[in-house]
Structure 1
Amino acid sequence: MESLSLIITLVVAFITSTIAIWQVRTQRVRQVEDVYVARYWSLLDRLSPHTLRGLDGHVLREEEELAIRLYFRLSEDQADLRAQGWVSDDTWRDWSGAISSQMNRPPFNRLWAETCEDSTAGRDYAFTHLRQLAQNADYDPTPTGLMRKWLRRTPGRGRRDGTS
């Protein structure tokens, strides 16, 4: 009877520990996602309405060009976080769609083409993930194996791009 009680206690302790670890990890993923959503909105705040609407022919201010180039870095960072397992499936679906869409709109597409042509522009950032995402909107740098299964179990919270 004593051994049965010990087994039950160990099973309950294991289940409780697993649930606690899962909850902590889920909260951490959400915190990471929130930080990147805040960075995204702070970059958009630097852009004029003409730039945000993608009006071709609009002359960019120097600050806007810098914000767009920082957006490329942010997007690469987001994809890298996804590859490390810190972005949930629901969030990546929103982010990757938004990134792909944005990269194909003026003036983002023009600056991206310049970045790809300029061999020195990628010196500190190779944009490995962003280059693939620009070519394939379905690109997902997600890890495989156990990390992938763990990510799938991390619940999303709806739209993670800062919009509702």
Structure 2
Amino acid sequence: MKKVLVLIMSSLMMIAFLSSCTETTQTKDATPTVKSDDGGDFAVKAINNQVSDFAIDGFPGGSSKLSKNEDLENMKKIVALVKPIIDQVPAGYVMQITGHAADYDGKAKQMSVSKARAEKIYTELKKAGVAPAKMTYKGVGITEPISGADLKDAKQRAVSFKAVKK
């Protein structure tokens, strides 16, 4: 009788243990599209969080050409990373490619060079297969500096990305 009772108790404990060890998996949609009351789009916020650390720098002063192999490789890597993100930009938005400049030369030269830098990356993304309708570009000179770097720092000679309304 004792053996039967021990066997039943052991079986119940095993069943309880196995039922508590079952695994449940939940999948989440990677691109939320719920709109908030203020009209902001969560997908756009998520996209901007993804691209906020992407910047293509290494441009020589006064130029939109990347000449060092490491800078060219960096550009290719970022283009490869940004391309699928641009494909996720929702209708009514585009990926803005923004060219920046360090605080040298005159304002007109800064605007011209920063626009040429943005256009260079825009062209590279088009070559990589991104639809031109999903992108736009502009140069801002030093009016929108890269955070964390002095205005005269070479890191200001860069291109950044942000999803914006059309």
Q: TM-score, normalised by structure 2?
A: 0.36
- The structure whose residues are more often helix, as a share, is 1
RCO comparison, higher one (Cα < 8 Å, 6+)? 1
Rg: which structure is higher?
A: 2
